[in-house]
Structure 1
Amino acid sequence: MLDSLRQTRRLALKAFETYLPPALGYPLSRLVDPFFRRSALAAGYCERLQLEPDLVMYESYNGRDFAGNAYALFRHLIDRNDYAHLRHVIAVPSLDHPKVLPFRNHPRVILVKVDTPAYIRYAESCTWFINNASWKPYLIKRSGQTWVYTWHSTLLKKLAVDKGAPWEARNVTRALVAADYFISPNRYTTELLLASHGAGPFMDGMIAEFGYPRNDLTINADRISIKRMLGLSEGEQLVVFAPTWRGEQNAVDTVAETLDQRQRLQDLLPAGYRVVVKFHTMVYRFLNAAAMKYCPPLSVDANELLAAADYLVTDYSGIFFDYLSTGRPVIFFAPDREEYARAKNGFYLDLETLPGPMCQDLGSVASAILHSRGISERYAQAYAEFRALYLADDDGMACQRTIDLVFGAVPEPRTYRIPHTRKRLLFYPGPMNPNGVTTSFLALAGRLDYDAYDVAVLLPDDARNRVFQAGIDRRASIFYQSVPDAFTASEYSAHARFIKRGSRSRDDLPIQAYRSSMGRIFYGVEFHSAVNFHGYQPADAAKLALGVVAARKVIFLHNDLNRDRIIKQPQLHAVFSTYKYYDRLFCVSADSLAANLVGMAVYTRGEFGDDVAPLMDYAPNLIAPESIRSRALEALPGTIPEPSPEMATFMTIGRLSPEKNHARLLEAFRLVVDTCPGSRLYIVGDGKTAGTLRQLARSLRLGESTVFIPFMANPYPLFKACDCFVLSSDIEGQPITILEALTLGKPVISTDIAGPHDLLCGGEGTLVAASAEALASAMITFIRNGRTMDRKDFDPFGYVESAASRFAEKVLEGKA
């Protein structure tokens, strides 16, 4: 539901900037999309406000609480006499949050509710910003600001790329790259967090591994006072039950289940034990007054609570690492261990090696509590090893070291920066819809030289195409633009005019807005080359050309783009006007280059006065032959009528849209069936002409001889099972589908147009005139020749080697 709402908003914003006057489109965009509104506020404050040199801002858990490292650092800094000149802004979910009530009237403390205009104003004017989760994606980091990132745990459960979900990294990756300082709990967490989020190759900030600030709260707390605050009587034992949250990107409501478990554990323990629940901050929104009766007050930080706890009962939460500083028993309660492990793709550590018993039921938990001395003895060695490995530097002084480092520039030997020796590349493959551009990019990403390059891939945050996003080579770092661009009113007006009319010069574009929007994702990162591998949208073309810092910028043309503009892509008019801001323009075949020289280049010179022909070259698409052939061995889905050896079977695959001219193929196939009854045609794909094509098939009385199949994640078994691949397009750049068919040794029949011509003109397939009669004649000839075709062999591996070499030399390095 949330993803659908975001997509609807995205479409609305695009319609507003394309069709409405800016004076109407801008306020409507602010009204419809809260992230556009917040982005606009951030841009406006950046334009109008100076940084306040004595202002420090804090945010915890995306504003759900004020806790952990940010809270610990605030408590330390507010009491330091040498920093008494500083003012402190705390982002909170409510101005009545119990933890900040003692500071509400403090002369140097300002409380702001997260996501409000006041929050954004202070975020854009503070000099220091301390955060333990991620900075809001609409915020713009400004020159002169110092961002301190502390994360919030030592890692146990797998995250992001390591669990096959790179989109979950989108906010943390940006935060790590933008951070001036990363305060990490230990080297183990540093390495895993940077690797699982792809941030390491692009992180230039300083990393500190000298103890965790929030653990100071546990080590230095007055345990007796906290127990007294919780209402425990003298000698009463405190059991803290702290399960982690359940769900994927959004938590599910487990409050009732957790409270039931708490009550059952309480009932299993004798008098003298008190069980309280510490819910994860992700679950806070589900809590009510009745639930809070069994929780510690919100005025008590989790790490202060750990100081008072006699026992910790948890599951897969990293909270247990912090608790090890107490030396007291930790007990693991994991009744859903296998299910949770499947959902998270496993754990970073073997659960059997943890420093406490792993219990499947509450009876075992209660028994472990009541026999804690034996438990402590049994796990003493593991406990000591974990403390040495993960808490070696926690001595209660981490806050002081952090403040001295960040605010006082005091040298600290336990800090370092990651050395970078490889060139940095940026690719933008677009939304990764199911098409040839996506297939080609996935193959390209698998062929890049990761010993020579650090590769960043920028994607729009489109939940519809996660299957393709997950298929990007894991050695690449994936970044997402998850919120709208940041425009002031005047910048929006300039941008909207560009979308409608194109750009005559840099002066008519909101370049600062493009830089701010890209800077929210790649703050401070300089690329060797930036490659717009998509090339269909004007906003993306402008941002990649003018908003990214790169020594070399190129854009791809995946089709005969002027004909594409005429048929269905009118926005290409504005895209063409950005070509002068790129260093090179790459078509995907030699004859596609020829078509664009006489089409797009002539049009662009006539419309904008830009001679882009000298910038043009070509670099063929890549494929992954090994993957194509291995995946072709999988079984066809049972829902698809299997091709029979007794019938001639043809297939085509692609987007169902006008330029593909599937209507021509259906008309041709009617002629084929009239001559060769029993033949079958498979049409694979989705698109806006699907309904029309189905109606046409019915009117042509093709019945069961034509099978329409929606998008297939793996179409190669059908390629393998069919006799011949047919392409009926009016325009193409370089059709990946023909390359896939040739890789599987399949005969190919195609209209003789730019793209297919380049691949088949040497005799690798049959080229025919762009008519139903010509297609039908070739298909009938194929059947009459025993479903065979005289053709030249195609070497997919030699093709890939040649294409990859050309791409590296011409696209990435700019060699002639």
Structure 2
Amino acid sequence: MMISKRHITTAKKKLYFILRPLKRFLVDTEFRKRAMYAKYTEKKPVNNRIIFYEAYHGQSMTGNPYAVFKYLIDHNDYQNCLHVWAIADKSQIQDDYKTRRNVIFVKYRSAAYIKCLAVAKYLINDTTFPYYFHKRKEQIYANIWHGTPLKKMGIDIPVRGLSDHKNIQKNFLFSNYMVSPNRFTAETLLKSHDVYSLYNGSILDTGYPRGDLMYQADQQKIKALLSIPEEKKIILYAPTWRGRLGEEVNESEALLQSVQEIQQQAGENYIVLLKSHYYAYKFFNQNQMGHLCVPNKLDTNELLSIVDMLITDYSSIFFEYLPTKKPVIFFTYDDADYLKERGTYIPLEALPGPVCRTLEEVIHAIQHSDEEKEQYAAKYQHFLQTYCYNDDGLATQRFIETVFQGKPTPHLSKIKNDKTKILLYPGGFLNNGITSSVINLLNAIDYNQYDVTLIDYGNNTKEEKQSNLSKINKNVKHLFRVGSWNATLSEWYRHNLVLQRGAYSRFMQRVLPEQMYKRELERITGGTEFDIGIDFSGYSPFWTSLIGFGSFKKKSIFLHNDMGMEIQKKVLDRYPHRKNLKVIFSLYDQFDKVISVSKLTNEQNRRQLSHILKAPQEKMDFVMNSIDYNKILSLKQQAFQYEFGEEHDFTFLQLPKARQYPTPHAQDINFINIGRLGPEKDQKKLISAFAPIAGNHSNAKLYIVGDGDLREQLIDHTRKLGLEDQVIFTGQLENPYLLLDQCDCFVLSSNHEGQPMVLLEALVLRKPIIVTDIPGSRSVVGDGYGMVVDNSIEGLRAGMEHFIQERRIDAQKFDYKKYSEDALAMFYEKVCK
């Protein structure tokens, strides 16, 4: 029997399906770790005896976790506990604990680390656990951050990436306790990472446990360790690391020069020590200057107990040194650049010590420390009262009593938020109608009643996305996905099968890895509970599956188009949506509401998709797109910038980041089309219809605004028809309302639409409108707001000719204020209740 090519191709596909996840599991270490972690969290019970500690991503055995550990390790009530430390470098293990039977050290991010992270009852960290961390409900996670923030963090940093803070967000939201030295720190950390109103854990305002170490330290032992004579006074220089990878030597050499200069000028009575970053410490050791550096192994707060004077810059170390009431000098030689790029929450001039820009000023401050202390006494006292009111040596005890013993305390508080919490996936925020619609909606919502969070990948740095994100109401929060799935190998196979076939059959619905989807949404959101889940995009199987299987009181997915036409849409010989929509359609039943954006589009989608849904009459509904008429009216009045052409008698409209094009003239007949240059918008049909118009009316112009895959094809079609002087491609415009307001008539040639945003925008500007006869466009202008023509070249030509002859299109006045109120009321009623 002969085997056909089709059978061979099918066999290869099946083999690839089987081997690809298996190969990835064997080759990809991170994939294997995530699978292992998922298996442990699903199969292994939480061990109530295990306390898991991590400091500075396993870089040391110091700080707040160390302070908690030191308290518990010798406490009678916790002798049966197993203390597990995550350590990246064995040399950082404290010698006193290497042989303790109830202390275990696991290599950071090793298999043992992953297992302990998954099963330990108590989790103590001063930074963040890895991106795959997903706290179980039985676990107790105390995040004890590593300082009171002076320098700005998260979204407050002036120069930052779109989602640099995404893993910190997740860790904060997962924590049961946000342990804080003062109220300012807790509020600043949560707000700067965009999770303040979402945080459902408890704020424990008891002081940092590590602050106690300064009171408890064995000063003689520390001085002996550092070979410091008893009679010497100690100056500690503890700057923030400013270097970049590849430039460690330059930064370290500058530090060395500063330390040597300070030591020389301070005199023989002082020993100058440097508390430095790992890179600088390594450099000093390599240059036989290691004795000037404090070993990273030595806890900073224990070190502070022997320090007589502190020199720092933007580091939070000075907050914990203030209870000593000894001098602090701030050496901010680069403050102009640093404040511009990073910024501080507290003005430098308000700091409790002299702010020096040169080494000469630092030396002067050292030599006149008594005078400086008196001068800054009031500021010093203010800082003690504001930021150090918990520093009494008992912070660790209060922490243990609350977290481990459950004792009530006035130091514990929660953030009150009675608003309805909405989690919404908005789409890719590229320049399209979905983006315009979601921006308008987010700028219209009542934030006294609703707390809105957008969820996104966070790895897209496209300029258009950044620009569109900047237009959103500042009350909206953003959660970003960090890392990838925590999934077992079995779940991966099932998920890949769903992506191939969809979940239409009973068999496929049983195959669906529902727990994988639930787990991933919880991992991204830090387990935050939301009332309303919305897949506003409706084009991404990933987000559809996560929101569809998420734990919400109500879930909705939006259909922004005639979805039957969308799945068949072909662009440059490919079907861009067919594969994704095949999966998404099969998941519609996971939602309470399947929302189209107009009445007629809903009727069209119901006719084509109702056979997929169990209860289409109950689920399928419509909510009109929101419009921001104030923005439209404001932007259309933006001043024009003119540049006179040398070879032409017309002017050119200049807009930022836009191509240069001639502005509309009053004596011309100016038609305009705005939209993506794709097959559904069918600008080719419009250009063909415009050709005879241009031949009969030399003063006729057609402006085509937008970009897309078919741009070059459309320009070539225009060239072949000899219309280069009358058809004007502007490209994508940041503000299209300027040009729209200057044109005479808006023409939409689409083959299918949901509810075209551009039509609503044209109506706000009182523009005459011509549209092809499709449900989405008819839903906007069909009640007498414009002219509906046959969806053909001849139909469009006749419509444009009619406008030229009449110079008007009969239409009633569009009440955009009432429309906006109705659209928002529909959203509240159908999506949020």
TM-score for the superposition, normalised by structure 1: 0.88
For 1:123-142, what per-residue CA distance to the aligned partner results, in whole angstroms no more than 9, with x for missing partners? 11111111122232212222
Match of 1:624 in 2: 628
Within 2, Cα distance between the matches of 1:428 and 1:285?
A: 45
1:795 paired with 2:815, answer yes
Q: Which amino acid in structure 1 is aligned with residue 82 of structure 2?
A: R
Q: Which amino acid in structure 1 is aligned with residue 132 of structure 2?
A: Y
Residue of 427, 445, 450 corresponding to 2:447: 450
1:555 paired with 2:557, answer yes
> Which structure 1 residue ranges, 5 or more long, are not aligned?
1-17
Within 1, Cα distance between the matches of 2:733 and 2:145?
A: 39
Please give the secondary structure, in 1, of the residue aligned with 2:443: helix
Within 2, Cα distance between the matches of 1:640 and 1:56?
A: 61
Cα 1:558–1:379 shift into 2, 3 Å: same
> Which structure 2 residue ranges, 5 or more long, are not aligned?
1-12, 570-574, 641-654
557-566 vs 295-304, which moves further: 295-304
1:462 paired with 2:459, answer yes
Match of 2:607 in 1: 598
Please give the secondary structure, in 2, of the residue aligned with 1:764: coil
1:737 paired with 2:740, answer no
Within 2, Cα distance between the matches of 1:375 and 1:56?
A: 45
Match of 1:6 in 2: none
Within 1, Cα distance between the matches of 2:317 and 2:323?
A: 11
Residue of 263, 266, 291 corresponding to 2:260: 266
Q: Measure how far apart 1:330 and its partner are.
A: 1.8
134-143 vs 390-399, which moves further: 134-143
Q: Which amino acid in structure 2 is aligned with residue 566 of structure 1?
A: Q
666-675 vs 506-515, which moves further: 666-675
Give yes or no for contact 1:255–1:291 (8 Å, CA) kept in 2.
no
Cα 1:446–1:308 shift into 2, 3 Å: farther
For 1:745-771, what per-residue CA distance to the aligned partner results, in whole angstroms no more than 9, with x for missing partners? 444333232222111223333333323
Match of 1:313 in 2: 311
Give yes or no for contact 2:427–2:536 (8 Å, CA) kept in 1.
yes
Bigger Cα Rg: 2
Q: Measure how far apart 1:74 and its partner are.
A: 2.1
Match of 1:637 in 2: 656
Match of 2:74 in 1: 79
Match of 2:195 in 1: 199
Match of 2:512 in 1: 509
For 1:188-247, what per-residue CA distance to the aligned partner results, in whole angstroms no more than 9, with x for missing partners? 122222223332333222221111112122333234443443333444443333333459
Match of 1:242 in 2: 238
Cα 1:383–1:753 shift into 2, 3 Å: same
Match of 1:180 in 2: 176
Cα 1:19–1:628 shift into 2, 3 Å: farther
Cα 1:255–1:382 shift into 2, 3 Å: farther
Within 2, Cα distance between the matches of 1:549 and 1:445?
A: 23
1:415 paired with 2:418, answer no
Q: Which amino acid in structure 1 is aligned with residue 432 of structure 2?
A: N
Residue of 352, 359, 363 corresponding to 2:360: 363
Give yes or no for contact 1:246–1:254 (8 Å, CA) kept in 2.
no
Match of 2:425 in 1: 428
Within 1, Cα distance between the matches of 2:145 and 2:729?
A: 49
Q: Measure how far apart 1:68 and its partner are.
A: 2.1
For 1:428-466, what per-residue CA distance to the aligned partner results, in whole angstroms no more than 9, with x for missing partners? 223323322222212222222222233232222232333
Within 2, Cα distance between the matches of 1:466 and 1:283?
A: 36
Q: Which amino acid in structure 2 is aligned with residue 573 of structure 1?
A: K
Q: Which amino acid in structure 2 is aligned with residue 84 of structure 1?
A: Q
Please give the secondary structure, in 2, of the residue aligned with 1:527: coil
Within 2, Cα distance between the matches of 1:616 and 1:365?
A: 71
Q: Which amino acid in structure 2 is aligned with residue 368 of structure 1?
A: A
Q: Measure how far apart 1:618 and its partner are.
A: 0.5
Within 2, Cα distance between the matches of 1:284 and 1:513?
A: 44
Residue of 367, 373, 377 corresponding to 2:374: 377
Instruction: State how 1:567-716 maps to structure 2 within 5 Å.
Output: 567=569, 568=575, 569-570=577-578, 571-602=580-611, 604=612, 610-632=614-636, 633=638, 636-637=655-656, 639-646=658-665, 647-677=668-698, 680-703=701-724, 705-716=726-737
Residue of 149, 163, 169 corresponding to 1:167: 163
Cα 1:785–1:361 shift into 2, 3 Å: farther
Give yes or no for contact 1:68–1:303 (8 Å, CA) kept in 2.
yes
Identity rate of aligned residues, in percent?
A: 36
Q: Measure how far apart 1:587 and its partner are.
A: 0.6
Please give the secondary structure, in 2, of the residue aligned with 1:124: helix
Q: Which amino acid in structure 2 is aligned with residue 552 of structure 1?
A: K
Within 2, Cα distance between the matches of 1:198 and 1:103?
A: 39
1:147 paired with 2:150, answer no
Cα 1:747–1:361 shift into 2, 3 Å: farther
Match of 2:537 in 1: 534
Within 1, Cα distance between the matches of 2:382 and 2:548?
A: 52
Give yes or no for contact 2:491–2:513 (8 Å, CA) kept in 1.
yes
Cα 1:516–1:679 shift into 2, 3 Å: same
Within 1, Cα distance between the matches of 2:70 and 2:822?
A: 61
TM-score for the superposition, normalised by structure 2: 0.87
Residue of 194, 207, 210 corresponding to 1:211: 207
Q: Which amino acid in structure 2 is aligned with residue 300 of structure 1?
A: L
Cα 1:783–1:103 shift into 2, 3 Å: farther
Within 1, Cα distance between the matches of 2:424 and 2:340?
A: 32
Match of 1:402 in 2: 399
Q: Which amino acid in structure 2 is aligned with residue 793 of structure 1?
A: K
Within 1, Cα distance between the matches of 2:236 and 2:722?
A: 71
Q: Which amino acid in structure 2 is aligned with residue 541 of structure 1?
A: T
Match of 1:4 in 2: none
Give yes or no for contact 1:219–1:326 (8 Å, CA) kept in 2.
no
Cα 1:551–1:712 shift into 2, 3 Å: same
Match of 2:21 in 1: 26
Within 2, Cα distance between the matches of 1:290 and 1:19?
A: 60
Cα 1:657–1:228 shift into 2, 3 Å: farther
Q: Measure how far apart 1:722 and its partner are.
A: 4.3
Match of 2:9 in 1: none
Give yes or no for contact 2:259–2:274 (8 Å, CA) kept in 1.
no
Q: Which amino acid in structure 1 is aligned with residue 621 of structure 2?
A: D
For 1:306-352, what per-residue CA distance to the aligned partner results, in whole angstroms no more than 9, with x for missing partners? 333333232222222122122222222223333333334x4322222
Within 1, Cα distance between the matches of 2:622 and 2:149?
A: 46
127-136 vs 669-678, which moves further: 669-678
Match of 2:115 in 1: 121
Please give the secondary structure, in 2, of the residue aligned with 1:462: coil
Q: Which amino acid in structure 2 is aligned with residue 350 of structure 1?
A: P
Match of 1:158 in 2: 152
Give yes or no for contact 2:803–2:809 (8 Å, CA) kept in 1.
yes
For 1:94-134, what per-residue CA distance to the aligned partner results, in whole angstroms no more than 9, with x for missing partners? 3x242446544432222233333322121111111111222
Give yes or no for contact 1:197–1:477 (8 Å, CA) kept in 2.
no
Q: Measure how far apart 1:420 and its partner are.
A: 3.6
Within 1, Cα distance between the matches of 2:702 and 2:32?
A: 50
Q: Measure how far apart 1:488 and its partner are.
A: 1.0
Within 2, Cα distance between the matches of 1:651 and 1:65?
A: 64
1:543 paired with 2:546, answer yes
Instruction: State how 1:13-92 maps to structure 2 within 5 Å.
Output: 22-27=17-22, 29-30=24-25, 36-92=31-87
For 1:602-650, what per-residue CA distance to the aligned partner results, in whole angstroms no more than 9, with x for missing partners? 4x26xxxx44243111011112222333344265227532543435544
Cα 1:529–1:649 shift into 2, 3 Å: same
Within 1, Cα distance between the matches of 2:285 and 2:460?
A: 32
Give yes or no for contact 1:65–1:281 (8 Å, CA) kept in 2.
no
Match of 1:10 in 2: none
Q: Which amino acid in structure 1 is aligned with residue 178 of structure 2?
A: F
For 1:571-602, what per-residue CA distance to the aligned partner results, in whole angstroms no more than 9, with x for missing partners? 21221111222111111111111110122224
Within 2, Cα distance between the matches of 1:658 and 1:243?
A: 59
Please give the secondary structure, in 1, of the residue aligned with 2:390: coil
Q: Measure how far apart 1:21 and its partner are.
A: 5.1
Cα 1:242–1:694 shift into 2, 3 Å: farther
Q: Which amino acid in structure 2 is aligned with residue 334 of structure 1?
A: T
Cα 1:537–1:329 shift into 2, 3 Å: same
